[in-house]
Amino acid sequence: GAGVSQSPRYKVTKRGQDVALRCDPISGHVSLYWYRQALGQGPEFLTYFNYEAQQDKSGLPNDRFSAERPEGSISTLTIQRTEQRDSAMYRCASSASSLSEQYFGPGTRLTVT
């Protein structure tokens, strides 16, 4: 079956613009995670959902970042008023349950100019 998909794969935006990153998890997966990965670093947790409920958003760096998963499937990570320091790879993962193996998407490379 299809794996986790993310769109767009690449996004270049100007400082101050809002961006929306999309994650389409594996069908039936309950848990969905967002990570950010800076160059030379490992993935860093941002937030995660079980079904449509946002269980933990402690990793969101500030209030410009938000995420939703309104129907318990597709999720959107939104960054408002982007800054250059937001440039990174944004990874989404899903799992059948909170304790199950996480399957990662291809990532969205965000560049803020």
Task: Write out the residues near other proteins by the rule CB under 8 A.
Answer: 3-4, 31, 33, 40-45, 48, 55-56, 59, 91, 93, 98-99, 101-107
In the complex, minimum distance from the CB of residue 56 to other proteins, in angstroms, rounded to a whole number: 7
Nearest to 77 by CA among 35, 31, 15: 35
Cβ proximity to other proteins: between 69 and 82 the closer is 69
Nearest to 39 by CA among 111, 113, 100: 111
Tell me how far apart the alpha carbons of residues 50 and 40 are, in angstroms, rounded to a whole number.
Answer: 29
Cβ proximity to other proteins: between 34 and 86 the closer is 34
Cβ proximity to other proteins: between 9 and 85 the closer is 9
In the complex, minimum distance from the CB of residue 76 to other proteins, in angstroms, rounded to a whole number: 20
Query: Cβ contacts of residue 53 below 8 Å, gap of 6+?
Result: none
In the complex, minimum distance from the CB of residue 16 to other proteins, in angstroms, rounded to a whole number: 30
Tell me how far apart the alpha carbons of residues 26 and 95 are, in angstroms, rounded to a whole number.
Answer: 8
Cβ proximity to other proteins: between 65 and 82 the closer is 65
Q: Which of the 8 DSSP states describes residue 102? A: P
